[in-house]
């Protein structure tokens, strides 16, 4: 399990909070508020993955997103390369970012800023909620974001 320090988000700031946890892993200290500003957080709308990537790059890191990812992609980075990954998934009734810190044959382990602690989900349950969509509700199939992961590295 990667040693990613848990952090509890201020309401609506799961993107900047997840980025904060990844940056802390790499020894970069920034406040949630600084990261929200850098990432272009918009109240009631949140933070885009592009904003998270832009903020990481402004701090000298490399970053990219991948849609239609597979569990094996997460394992490649988290287990093999030892890099925590931000995922965009559907929690309760809205899109949400969390940081994957481990994956085994049965479960996925994530530092969830909504909880401020480790969340463990069975892999099959995670696969059912590993999606998001743009806007307040689905207007068309083009709004769907499927299995997005954000990789930030040195």
Q: What is the DSSP letter of 105?
A: S
Distance CA 132, CA 17 (A): 18
What pLDDT tens digit does each residue of the chain (154 aa) get? 999 999 999 999 999 999 999 999 999 999 999 999 999 999 988 999 999 999 999 999 999 999 999 999 999 999 999 999 999 999 977 899 999 999 999 999 999 999 999 999 999 999 999 999 888 878 888 889 999 999 999 9
How far apart are the C-alpha atoms of 9 and 145, rounded to whole Å?
A: 23
Could you identify the residue written with the tokens 């349950």?
125
* pTM of the complete model: 0.96
């Amino acid at each position: 399990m990667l040693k990613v320090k848990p952090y509890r988000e201020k309401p609506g700031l799961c993107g900047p909070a997840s980025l904060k946890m990844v940056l802390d892993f790499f020894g970069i200290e920034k406040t949630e508020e600084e990261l929200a500003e850098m990432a272009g957080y918009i109240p009631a709308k949140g933070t885009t993955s592009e904003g998270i990537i832009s903020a990481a790059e402004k701090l000298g890191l490399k970053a990219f997103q991948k849609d239609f990812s597979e569990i094996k992609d997460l394992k490649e980075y988290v287990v093999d390369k030892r890099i925590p990954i931000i995922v965009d998934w559907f929690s309760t009734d809205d899109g949400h970012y969390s940081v994957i810190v481990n994956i085994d044959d049965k479960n996925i382990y994530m530092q969830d800023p909504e909880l401020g602690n480790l969340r463990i989900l069975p892999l099959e349950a995670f696969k059912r909620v590993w999606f998001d969509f743009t806007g307040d509700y689905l207007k068309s199939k083009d709004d769907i974001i499927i299995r997005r992961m954000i990789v930030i590295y040195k």
